[in-house]
Structure 1
């Protein structure tokens, strides 16, 4: 749907605007205010027109301060016009007066456009990769004045205006210029700077004035419950993280240690009065804690602007704005830089799968289904009561791809974990027969979403080497983490949801019954190298009545702690990168809630401190031993040692890498110590026990092997006889022949 083209104003011989145009400007219904307002040729000279509500007198001046002429009031509402003594078209300032006083304003309609034909071309083509430098609100110098350039995509609108406190939220005052070839509306408003709340007032194609809309490209927003966008100056932070970024640009992340600490920024810790920590306060507390605990990366649940706290950020209305909950955008930049200087990466949860239907957001943005599909069978998500992006529209794809590039460029983030990928890939996701529309081939695959994900990954990896993408994809869609040129989706990694589900299911069983579920553990290794996997024990496992990881473990309290420690060592020895949600590193007892901080007092108690110390030591081992991380995504880094001892619920395997000693990982998931247990090993000689989760320092019973075991070739094949402590995992590192 296209709006009717506005008719340019004509002037009589005296330079006066037609009465109809004056009435339309005053009423706020004119579709092309630049044809009326601003400086125009009139005969051999120039006339200027302006709309200044509440003014009784207006005098025009050049930007250098030279008086150019008194203007006449055509309408009591504040329409003024008159001849001006200037020799060429140029921006003007006005001195306005009424009985209450006087004020100055610079005429936005006397300036030329900011966007150019190349912008139009690339925007229309959908190939513009710097939209965040063109759309949104940017403080710039333009034709001799400083102000803010606003630009927004609303191709079907009859009229779009910028409104804010600077114009009394009056949509008649700053109606924008329509660049018809692209559907972009733009306006340079001089004399305003950073920190100004604003929205867009949009008249829909049917003439209805929509609820005020926030800027889809806003770089800063008001603190909820307020919903306006805020003009933001360019980031002022001076980065000092080149060493960190240079390292990762050259690295193969599949062969690097990646131990990710998943954090909800609003509930990790809070101030004594219960309010949120600022980014600077988080940096002072969270970064040292992560370094001490040994994690390599922090992954934040979505920190882009969102109106509703219980959505945890997954229903975002401001994809380009760090939420105001924790301070200004520079604060987040300082956090990322501080993490990088400490050697810690920062990954953001990113949500291109859906968006909320809050009226100030993207839904029916210009009065039509612009960002979403019009048909609810494609454009509405029944699970979350949200809208679904129209991945078949190049402008929407460009909006999302640019957002991925934006976080990498402007905030130096190390990666994006893409939420709910499965919901994007399948047209029938959570839908019954008749509730979805097949693709052009008659299938259930969302081919447009596939194309979008491939484009996003190609552009991000192509322009920002060292930045990774991670898919939360819960089905068996093939080649999620394979390159696009090989037919893959192009992600760097994929969450291994099967590992999480199967292992937690197994450990929830009483130990006596685990032998009947042995395959819950062994099955995962049949596909462990089909993708580049991250092993997630995420926030999704500790909410909505699921309890905590500690409470999922079977047995009494001692057994729960012992099993959790054994599980963590099992996981850290398992092929794949690691992810643990905050609080689980010290065995949080209460289910997580976004409304409160974690129960940090638990670290005062030995069992909880023991779990934390276990995770800390595991992270150190994982990072320092190539055998545990350098072949996480390759089958030649793993081999079973014991796969079929279901009666004893024992599992053992070998991890290896070319530049490190091999490490045997052995788990006993029963409370029965296994004495004189024979474990086959690849080399005869001394194997050092580098971790034993039953150690007394961790809160275990203190059973073990005195620090080493000796493997020999007696009896056919190399093996070692050892004690397997109860409910434990031990790791043995080969040290000498």
Structure 2
């Protein structure tokens, strides 16, 4: 019989090695015993797995602990437990189970060593809840990293959330706990019950590696299959390279269009409408604000606690796979926001996961974000790096997304980010750079860079050098970087009354001083249309006509400017109020021809950007840009050439005053003898006044202007941008 001290430890859920007691064991004399801990069971019989015949009944020794010696058998055998439960516990009829404690360790020693040493790049293949089959028995293998825990149990809908039923096996070499639980299946809810080293019973923890989660405000993890590998589209590498047009439509899935009941849309409802709409406007990519599971709607997903789980807000995870497929079918790439900088401190999450600061730094000067009241990952810890880098690979390889827009990179780069003197810890060299975070990002970008066509985009708001330079050249290895300086400067300019813009002319030109120091993306993101900043339409000065004209001119300026493009949803049709995450976009505005005109313009700008190589091919190289005039502050006129490096050119001209200018003499490069207007943001088609140059060719004249020997005489529409190409 089991020793009394072992029995007491099992009943009190404090036994450090339940596999040494439960299941089938031989005593010192070689006699076989079967033991089971099944609180709530009325009777337990042991059946021969091969024949189904009853071998014996187990006697209840105390409080749901059953045991008995095996008669007439001296060799181990495969068995099942036939369990009848007390009323109100589980089913009234006897149920037959394979015994969890009849199974050997699930993870191989080499796998655990690879994880502990940082050699396992895809730790999600080991951890979480994995559907497996042993012989004819199907179930789930659970594994979790909790090196400082005294005891870890899987609790869930399959065991009455009772931590005594399924305490896990501790694999000491890596601090990993594992267990195979037969008969658990897809859709079952679960958490981890963890006892800290000091004996404290922690709040139930969601699985850091869960592939699905319960709908908030509930917080359980949910068993879901590991998505199969998703091979990249054949043309992904070409579509995402620097020389290709990349125009991104940023989406908050909850509020692009609400579901039929006014709640969250499903992935399938989004797939039926969103990809066609985005592709119809000529965008090349959809970028989704974070879709990993998060507890609070108002964080917009940026405070995530389920990095591996597509949020339950939009239905089951497989719906996201169908959404990605629908985007691919419309020729769109898919980017998702990825948040490795921090995580919220909700009790069911990663904070003090095993009773210690496991995923986060213990010192609040390193481990706590004052701005967001969140915890900061311990970027230098091997197992945390595996968690984060594996997650980056998971979304690309398993869900088929094209890449990641990495959030809050600046907060990761600097130890003194948003901290006063004395509130931060210098690095080992005494500097402010976060060397561990920098190493993590370089490693992550190198791994992502090994996947054909996959890309990463940094939201980085400082002048940190080499964000999009390759790691072998000392850079961080991102493929693109958001140009936050360009965005801030140009929006400040646009907010000025046109009569004052002459005094702020440099705000529109300063960005060209550094425009080719990184592979830049020009972002008009959700951050620019929340927290009292107003919408893009409300940022524009003047009466209603001028607001629309200014906005159209600015979009023309943006699409003609070097750099990839990003526009947040709703701004393509001049949404009037700032974005509200709890409601859908005001689609009724499209009944107004002025709003519809802005939408048509964005579509035509995207098509021009894609169809004219000079507007995109050298987006990131200085050879693709040449000023015609950057000094005409008195008239608030800007003009430049875009080149594709293969002989094609586009001339971009902006007039940021409401004064039309006829006969404006603009210098042009030698060669072409005629130019033709191919885009005019003041066209009546877009709701403008229809001032411009029409379809007739503009003949080059031998009259010098802007330091050039030849020129053309242009009519510049009020508050407008023109694109011209050689006729």
Q: TM-score, normalised by structure 1?
A: 0.95
Q: Give the unaligned 5+ runs of structure 2.
A: none
Q: Deviations over 1:170-206 (max 9, x none)?
A: 0010000001110110000001110001000000111
CA pair 157-594 structure 1, distance change in 2 beyond 3 A: same
How far apart are 1:251 and its partner, in Å? 5.4
Q: Does 1:315 align with 2:300?
A: no
Partner of 1:217: 209
Q: Is the CA contact (8 Å cut-off) linking 1:91 and 1:143 kept in structure 2?
A: no
Q: Does 1:493 align with 2:485?
A: no
CA pair 251-165 structure 1, distance change in 2 beyond 3 A: closer
Aligned with 1:288: secondary structure?
helix
> Structure 1 CA distance, aligned partners of 2:49 and 2:668?
83
Matches within 5 A, 1:78-97: 78-83=65-70, 88-97=75-84
Partner of 1:711: 700
Partner of 2:128: 136
Matches within 5 A, 1:183-198: 183-198=175-190
Partner of 1:406: 394
How far apart are 1:37 and its partner, in Å? 0.8
> Structure 2 CA distance, aligned partners of 1:249 and 1:185?
40
Matches within 5 A, 1:635-714: 635-659=622-646, 661-682=648-669, 683-707=671-695, 708-714=697-703
> Structure 2 CA distance, aligned partners of 1:714 and 1:506?
32
Q: Give the unaligned 5+ runs of structure 1.
A: 1-15
Partner of 2:46: 60
Q: Is the CA contact (8 Å cut-off) linking 2:618 and 2:645 kept in structure 1?
A: no
Which of 53, 70, 75 is the matching residue for 2:62?
75
Q: Is the CA contact (8 Å cut-off) linking 2:227 and 2:399 kept in structure 1?
A: no
Moved more, 247-256 or 377-386: 247-256
Q: Deviations over 1:135-155 (max 9, x none)?
A: 000111124411000000000
Which of 121, 130, 133 is the matching residue for 2:113?
121
CA pair 93-686 structure 1, distance change in 2 beyond 3 A: same
How far apart are 1:130 and its partner, in Å? 2.2
Q: Is the CA contact (8 Å cut-off) linking 1:96 and 1:103 kept in structure 2?
A: yes
Matches within 5 A, 1:300-699: 300-462=288-450, 464-659=451-646, 661-682=648-669, 683-699=671-687
Which of 159, 162, 167 is the matching residue for 2:154?
162
Q: Is the CA contact (8 Å cut-off) linking 2:239 and 2:246 kept in structure 1?
A: no
CA pair 85-37 structure 1, distance change in 2 beyond 3 A: farther
Q: Does 1:172 align with 2:164?
A: yes
Q: Is the CA contact (8 Å cut-off) linking 1:72 and 1:82 kept in structure 2?
A: no
Q: Is the CA contact (8 Å cut-off) linking 1:295 and 1:619 kept in structure 2?
A: yes
> Structure 2 CA distance, aligned partners of 1:90 and 1:564?
77
The Cα RMSD (Å) is 1.5
> Structure 1 CA distance, aligned partners of 2:622 and 2:68?
78
How far apart are 1:86 and its partner, in Å? 5.2
CA pair 99-520 structure 1, distance change in 2 beyond 3 A: closer
Partner of 1:720: 712
> Structure 2 CA distance, aligned partners of 1:91 and 1:356?
46
Q: Is the CA contact (8 Å cut-off) linking 1:60 and 1:84 kept in structure 2?
A: no
Q: Deviations over 1:19-63 (max 9, x none)?
A: 100111111110110111112223334222111112243221233
> Structure 1 CA distance, aligned partners of 2:691 and 2:456?
42
Q: Deviations over 1:115-145 (max 9, x none)?
A: 0011111011012022111100011112441
Q: Deviations over 1:618-677 (max 9, x none)?
A: 000001111001100011000101111111110000001134620000000000111111
Partner of 1:8: none
Q: Is the CA contact (8 Å cut-off) linking 1:694 and 1:728 kept in structure 2?
A: yes
> Structure 2 CA distance, aligned partners of 1:630 and 1:713?
30
CA pair 690-382 structure 1, distance change in 2 beyond 3 A: same
> Structure 1 CA distance, aligned partners of 2:140 and 2:348?
21
CA pair 58-252 structure 1, distance change in 2 beyond 3 A: closer
CA pair 76-705 structure 1, distance change in 2 beyond 3 A: closer
Partner of 1:148: 140
Partner of 1:28: 13
Q: Deviations over 1:682-730 (max 9, x none)?
A: 1331212110001111111111112232223344612111111110000
How far apart are 1:250 and its partner, in Å? 4.8
Which of 29, 37, 41 is the matching residue for 2:26?
41
How far apart are 1:277 and its partner, in Å? 1.2
Aligned with 1:166: secondary structure?
coil
CA pair 186-724 structure 1, distance change in 2 beyond 3 A: same
CA pair 84-54 structure 1, distance change in 2 beyond 3 A: farther
Partner of 1:261: 249
Q: Is the CA contact (8 Å cut-off) linking 1:457 and 1:490 kept in structure 2?
A: yes
Partner of 1:731: 723
Q: Is the CA contact (8 Å cut-off) linking 1:684 and 1:713 kept in structure 2?
A: no
Q: Is the CA contact (8 Å cut-off) linking 2:628 and 2:640 kept in structure 1?
A: yes
Aligned with 2:70: secondary structure?
strand
Moved more, 214-223 or 137-146: 137-146
Q: How many residues align?
A: 715
> Structure 2 CA distance, aligned partners of 1:444 and 1:79?
60
Q: Is the CA contact (8 Å cut-off) linking 1:408 and 1:467 kept in structure 2?
A: yes
Q: Deviations over 1:451-495 (max 9, x none)?
A: 000011111111x12110000000000000011111000100000
Q: Does 1:298 align with 2:298?
A: no
CA pair 450-91 structure 1, distance change in 2 beyond 3 A: farther
